[in-house]
Amino acid sequence: MSILVTGGAGYIGSHTCVELLNAGFDVVVVDNLTNSREITLKEVESITNKNLTLYSVDLLDSESLHKVFENHTIDAVIHFAGLKAVGESVEKPLYYYETNLRTTINLCKVMEAHHVHKLVFSSSATVYGIPEQVPVLETAPIQATNPYGRTKIMIEDILRDVAAASDKWSISLLRYFNPIGAHKSGRIGEEPSGIPNNLMPYITQVAVGIRDELSVFGDDYPTEDGTCVRDYIHVVDLALGHLKALEKLDSSSGTQAYNLGTGNGYSVFQVISAFEEASGKTIPKKVAPRRAGDAPVTYADATKAEQDLGWKAERGLLEMCEDSWRWQSHRSKQNAK
Ligand code: NAD
Ligand code: UDP
């Protein structure tokens, strides 16, 4: 079976390629490498001792995408490619709407032309905005606090319409909570360009001295220690969720949304403590004002994924921190060479 992975050179995509190759799938990656590097896929090949095919192609380029489908018999597509920085999406909304929506529309049109109708889409817990109730169920109201989040909501709507128009389609909308961690080998992991927006890459960069201190965005939330609570999920658990979703597409049609999270919430201070324990490093920090649009508390009810897909996150917070730390240490040593 051949799986086309868009954005396969990125953070979650590369970990998913490892699991796909390990499970015996043939993997074809389409990635324009705007937020990733080809070397990551070399690492994926070396970790798995298997080969994959990379097309350095922009999903906005339909002609090149057609050629990929002509060159391979694709059974299903996992669609990671897209822009994901919340702050940038506020500054450049048109760029975000154009890229995230048009890439997905192009992809679906090309899939349709080549009679490929199985799709797993990277959605996000951001579609729940600031949830009224936790744990969050898939049936919770959909709302977003920024353009990035709205692209995910719009794409989900587009995909539901596509599947409603023809029962050939089978589409899984995976709503990720907060992916952190890295592959055990320490050879692939999250590589933000510039100043990290997300908590874990910021912490790891403070730990290796790239940044001086972490700003904790608000300690006056109505939570146990005053900092925001999130559902952090190991990226390998997340990757394995995609394999389970793929399997399910064989026996289903239409669209289904699934929360991929652990069901546990941890505060910013708890994540810092766990990281300090895992790394033996102290993370200098200061409390800063709240960040606009942050939900005080969000964590998943992931029962549907467990019941329908037979998937459950297995890895705990300490392991996530150990693996993030191993990856960052490895990268810093490489950079120092
Ligand atoms: P990433 O930036 O590491 O990976 C995305 C990949 O897509 C990159 O390799 C990039 O080069 C590629 N890409 C971007 N635009 C492209 C285009 N026009 N054509 C071809 N390739 C293109 O991001 P990630 O963290 O691996 O996230 C993957 C997906 O999961 C994204 O859709 C993101 O919105 C979603 N998601 C991520 C998170 C998270 O915290 N990382 C949370 C929820 C959802
Ligand atoms: N956060 C923080 N400092 C940072 C980055 C993030 O205190 O430098 C907090 C942020 O306010 C949120 C949590 O860490 O409460 C997780 O943030 P992240 O951006 O990683 O995920 P998201 O907010 O998208 O769930």
- What pLDDT, on the 0 to 100 scale, is given for residue 134? 98
Q: Give me the mean pLDDT over the 236-253 stretch.
A: 97
- State yes or no: pLDDT of 120 exceeds 90: yes
- State yes or no: pLDDT of 336 exceeds 80: no
The mean pLDDT value of the chain amounts to 97
Q: Which two tokens stand for residue 309?
A: 């897909």
Atom 28 in ligand 1: residue holding the nearest Cα: 80
Identify which ligand lies nearest to the alpha carbon of 12: 1
144-173 in b/e form (b: 16+ CB < 10 A) is bbbbbbbbbbbbbeebbebbeeeeebbbbb
Atom 11 in ligand 2: residue holding the nearest Cα: 217
- State yes or no: pLDDT of 4 exceeds 80: yes
- What pLDDT, on the 0 to 100 scale, is given for residue 273? 98
Question: Over the chain, what HEC string results?
Answer: CEEEEECCCCHHHHHHHHHHHHCCCEEEEECCCCCCCHHHHHHHHHHHCCCCEEECCCCCCHHHHHHHHHHCCCCEEEECCCCCCHHHHHHCHHHHHHHHHHHHHHHHHHHHHCCCCEEEEEEEHHHHCCCCCCCECCCCCCCCCCHHHHHHHHHHHHHHHHHHHCCCCEEEEEEECEEECCCCCCCCCCCCCCCCCCHHHHHHHHHCCCCCCEEEECCCCCCCCCCCEECEEEHHHHHHHHHHHHHHHCCCCEEEEEEECCCCCEEHHHHHHHHHHHHCCCCCEEEECCCCCCCCECCECCHHHHHHHCCCCCCCHHHHHHHHHHHHHHHHHHHHC
* pLDDT band at 335; cut points 50, 70, 90: confident
- The residues assigned a catalytic role are 148
User: Who has greater pLDDT, 193 or 242?
Assistant: 242
CB distance 285 to 278 below 8 Å = no
The rounded Å distance from CA 80 to ligand 1 centre is 5
143-187, pLDDT tens digit by residue? 999 999 999 999 999 999 999 999 999 999 999 999 999 999 999
- Give the integer Cα–Cα distance in Å for 304 and 321: 27
Atom 15 in ligand 2: residue holding the nearest Cα: 228
Domain boundaries, the chain: 2-183+232-261+301-314
The rounded Å distance from CA 24 to ligand 1 centre is 24
Q: Give me the mean pLDDT over the 243-266 stretch.
A: 97
Closest atom, ligand 2, to C-alpha of 271: 14
**For the chain, what percent of residues have pLDDT higher than 70?**
100
The CATH label, of 3.40.50.970, 3.40.50.720, 3.30.1360.150, 3.60.40.10, for the domain at 2-183+232-261+301-314 is: 3.40.50.720
The residue count of the chain comes to 337
- Give the integer Cα–Cα distance in Å for 238 and 202: 21
**What φ, ψ does residue 34 adopt, rounded to 5°?**
-75, -30
- What pLDDT, on the 0 to 100 scale, is given for residue 331? 86
Closest atom, ligand 1, to C-alpha of 79: 32
Q: Give me the mean pLDDT over the 92-105 stretch.
A: 98
Around ligand 2, the residues with Cβ closer than 6 Å are 178, 197-199, 202, 214-217, 228, 230, 268, 291, 294
Atom 4 in ligand 2: residue holding the nearest Cα: 199
**What φ, ψ does residue 121 adopt, rounded to 5°?**
-115, 135
The rounded Å distance from CA 118 to ligand 2 centre is 33
